[in-house]
Structure 1
Amino acid sequence: MTPFDDEEGDPWPDEPEEFDPDSLGPETPDVEPDPEEAMAAAADVDEDLFRAFWGAAVFLNVAIAALALGALLIYFRGDWPRGGQALLVGTVAALFTARFYFSYRPDDAEDESTIDSEADR
């Protein structure tokens, strides 16, 4: 017997019905990802842009993790050798991120096509 039941075991009459959270909002459709469609979308991307994006994304994640870990090791444990190595790895990864980011020039492809069309005249 719960405190909300009366002597016969019936719930109180003013007790609200149990709330159904699925009743809020629209129905969400079940979506299965199509790997062939994803590969076709990736094939439409310029190779230089693809390499620059993924290179920068990976190295940026490494840089953030290594810099944070190095700072935590130095501050909380006073472990300068390992913390310093982690900070060095993070700094090098950040420099590689900057290299990937600044090496990609979207206007290079446009300039080559413009130069080729002007040379044909």
Structure 2
Amino acid sequence: MDSDGLIAIELSEDEGEVLRCGLREWGGPARCSEALAVAMGFESVADLWEQGKWLRAQLISNEALSARDWRRTLVATEFVFASDVFGAGQDWSITTGYPDEQTIQILRSLQRKIGRAVRRALYDH
């Protein structure tokens, strides 16, 4: 973690793309409620869209993010991938090009990688 509380995590090309797709999907086939946006760490659906654009740009630039931003990026991607009620669900592979099986493997890798980095940054200083 740097002095600004930002955590740099080296992502593979696929890991970064799945997170970017996860954030982008909320502006596509996904149907987020206000309560779900808040549960994912955003202030509202509008904030999810606005912050999602900013987070995607940060991911494209390989910028460090706060622990909060890493967590909400991951959880937004998990929800949009898995939920057919709120998220992209069955449309995920069609709109992103990532088959479900590959996405699950990438998400598991991201869960481990982000979880370890956030724990180290928050608790091992």
**Normalising by the residue count of structure 1, what TM-score does the alignment of the two structures yield?**
0.32
User: Does 1 or 2 have the higher relative contact order (CA < 8 Å, sep 6+)?
Assistant: 2
**Normalising by the residue count of structure 2, what TM-score does the alignment of the two structures yield?**
0.32
Structure with higher Rg: it is 1
